[in-house]
Each structure stands twice: as C-alpha cells, then as structure tokens.
Chain A
Amino acid sequence: MPTLVSFIIVSAALLGIGIYGLSVKRNAIRILFAVELIVNAANLNFVAFSRYMNPPQVTGQVIVFYSIAAAAMEAAVGLALILVAFRLHSTIDVRKLDKLKG
C-alpha cells in the first residue's frame, strides 16, 4: 500500500517539472501548461492528505473542487490574454513581450 510520503514525492516531482517549465520556456502557451501542472500537484496533495486523515475527511476534496473551478477560469482568462498579445505584437514569445520593462 503506498504511503502518504509517496504521494507527496509524486506531487513534488510534478511541482518541479512545472517550475522548470515556468522558468525556462519562452512560449506563453507552454508557460500556461506549466501553471496547470503546478495547480494539479497542489490538488493531488490536498486529496491525498484528506484521504490519509483518521478518520478520512472530504474537506480536501471540497477545496480541490474550488481549485479546479479556479483553474478553469485562469485558463480562460490566460488564453484570452495570449490571444490579445498575439494580436497586438504578433508573437507569444514572453522574452519579446517586454514593453513594461523599465
């Protein structure tokens, strides 16, 4: 039977993959992928922790319910922003979208 620690390790690995994508990738859509992976790592932790409680709880599942809805919103707004950026600058390379840089 897998322990809680093994779930934490999977979640940490997923977080690491997400952080790598967030810091290295240049394509804005790719960065959105990384954000979604990080959110999923957090969700996995919530469900695992609440399941391993004694007695098992559903509170973690409720939090993940909210989190999934929030992630859907974030994806919709993020993709709309990417579309606008593409329309204005005809690129989605985040290294070139540096108009706000002082």
Chain B
Amino acid sequence: MVAIALEIPPDVTFVILTTITLLAAILALQAKELIYGAVALAISFIGIAGFFVFLDAPYLAMLQIAVYVGAVVVLILFTIMLVRREEVEPVERPEEGESAVGLWVAGLLAVSIAGVAALAGPNLPSSMQPADLPVSELGPVLAGQYPVPLIILALLLSGALLGALVLAKVER
C-alpha cells in the first residue's frame, strides 16, 4: 500500500480520488474555454494515476502521467492554440432535446453497468490480497509472454506517428 494510505484510511483516499477524477472529467467536457477543459482533463488523468498507485501499479501511474499528462494533453493544448480563433470556435450549445437524450443514454448505460456490478457483488472478490507486484515482474510478462504484440505495437506506433506527420504537413 502507498505511503499516504498508512496515515489516511484507504476508504478516504478512494473517495477523494473518485471525487477528483469524476469532477475533473465533468469539468473537462463542460468548461466554457477549451483550454481550461484540457487542464481539467489533465487533472482527471492524474486522478486515474492515483487509482493506479492505490492498486499497487506504480509503474503504470508513472506511465500514465508521462504519456497522458505529459504528451497527450500538451499535444491537445498545442492543437487548441493552432485552431483557436474567436469567430471559428463553435458555440458549445447543443439543442435542448439533444443534450437531454445524451444525458439519458449515458446515465442509463452507467447505471445499468453499476447495477449489474452491484448485483454480482457477492460473487466478486471484495478484498485485495496482500501482494507485492514489483516493476521487475512486468518485464518478463511483457517481453517473455507477449513479445509479438510488443513488436507490433512498436511498428504501429512509428506508423501512426509518421501518418500524423504526413497528415499535418503543410504543402508548399
């Protein structure tokens, strides 16, 4: 368990992380300025990284912060600055009915998943087994058990980045 969790009870940590993550996610979608939305998205990602630390996956938390907060959000910020123009930025005001339907669909989906999980609750494991999953255990599984996906991922990554470069290039 994490160092913080030694002083604060785990339930309190969980509630705090949940509040941060979900509020920041809502703010990311509802903030008037797109830039503030991107910052809120970064906070939400940090909340998810907190969950990863909570679940004894510190390496993933590090990766989450490096890739999502460090790369994806910064990329998004750059794009917002390239695209932003007062007259171009569309007014974020969906039609009345559209917003309500979206809320209903999303709410129904979330509630049904949560309901099924709650019904299955007695059959799901309810407590974490004490375990130390050191980072060194991740390497053998990654490179020993799944070497082919790793190679495909590398090729895909370079292909996607080259593709993004070609797409975004300005013809002269």
Min distance, Cβ B54 to any Cβ of chain A, angstroms: 8
B88 CB within 8 Å of chain A: yes
Cβ-neighbour of A90 out of B44, B88, B109, B111 (below 8 A): B88
Chain A residues at the B interface, C-beta cutoff of 8 Å: 1-10, 12-21, 23-27, 29-30, 32-34, 36-37, 40, 43-44, 47-48, 51-56, 58-59, 61-62, 64-66, 68-77, 79-84, 86-87, 90-93, 96
Chain B residues at the A interface, C-beta cutoff of 8 Å: 10-11, 14, 18, 21-22, 25-26, 28-29, 34, 37-38, 41, 44-45, 48, 51-52, 55-57, 59-60, 63-64, 67-68, 71-72, 75-76, 79-80, 82-83, 88-90, 92, 94, 98-99, 101-103, 105-107, 109-111, 113-114, 117-118, 120-121, 124-129, 131, 133, 137-138, 141-142, 145-146, 149, 153, 156-157, 160-161, 163-165, 167-168, 170
| Secondary structure dominating the interface of B | helix
Distance of A18 Cα from B97 Cα, bound (Å):
19
| Secondary structure dominating the interface of A | helix
Cβ-neighbour of A20 out of B10, B60, B102 (below 8 A): B102
Listed from nearest, the 4 A-B pairs whose CB atoms lie closest are: A16-B110, A24-B102, A20-B106, A93-B90
